[in-house]
Amino acid sequence: MAAEETLDDVLLETEDRMDRAVSFLADELGRLRTGKGSPALVENVQVDYYGTQTRLRELATISTPEPRLIVINPYDPSSVREIEKAILAANLGVTPVADGKVIRIPIPELSEERRRELNKVVRRIAEEQRVAVRNVRRDANERIKALQREGKITEDERDHALEEIQKLTDDHIRRIDAMAREKEAEVMDMGG
């Protein structure tokens, strides 16, 4: 807690922490392979580039010219072998095909069983972030009540702040729910 915490400090930090939970969910969902090619599947793969662990997105352009194909075009063609090795080591369930200059990753169809498993993962990750948002709310509510007990804010200010925090919570949970529904639909889309 800051030396002289204010109501604005609590509200700003609360929103920031809830935003981070939503961002984390977006990153996690982006990494799930759904049967459609997405740069997010490989962009954070760590590649040994001249002895330094480097994210793939810093070493190459990553595109999806077709829904079921990811194409990686390294800036340095000599890094193709290392990129290929890193993708295989990342255990993403895909097999890169290199031609010396470009790496292509065909995205295989998902079985119905695998789709159901993925949706369970989506629901679990979303629920973890809902819990994280609720924990942020609980912490913020306690801090606001403490400010009121210490005489730094009035009861009306406390009540208004608690309402604001509930609105932030509801908004962030709605965003999490929408992201999870969208990802579940993407996973179940048989064409993808």
54, 56, 61, 39: which is closest to 107 by C-alpha? 39
Query: Please, how many CA atoms are within 13 Å of residue 21, restricted to the half-sphere of its CB?
Result: 27
> What integer pLDDT is reported at residue 85 of this predicted model?
92
> What integer pLDDT is reported at residue 192 of this predicted model?
45
> What integer pLDDT is reported at residue 33 of this predicted model?
65
> What integer pLDDT is reported at residue 117 of this predicted model?
81
Is residue 93 left, alpha or beta, with left meaning phi > 0 and alpha meaning psi from -120 to 50? left
Q: Residue-wise pLDDT tens for the chain (192 aa)?
A: 445 889 999 999 999 999 999 999 998 887 776 667 778 888 888 999 999 999 999 999 999 888 889 999 999 999 999 999 998 888 777 889 999 899 999 887 778 887 888 888 899 999 999 999 999 999 999 999 999 999 999 999 999 999 999 999 999 999 999 999 999 988 887 544
Q: Which domains does the chain have, with CATH numbers?
A: 7-31+111-188 (1.10.132.20), 39-106 (3.30.1360.40)
> What integer pLDDT is reported at residue 1 of this predicted model?
43
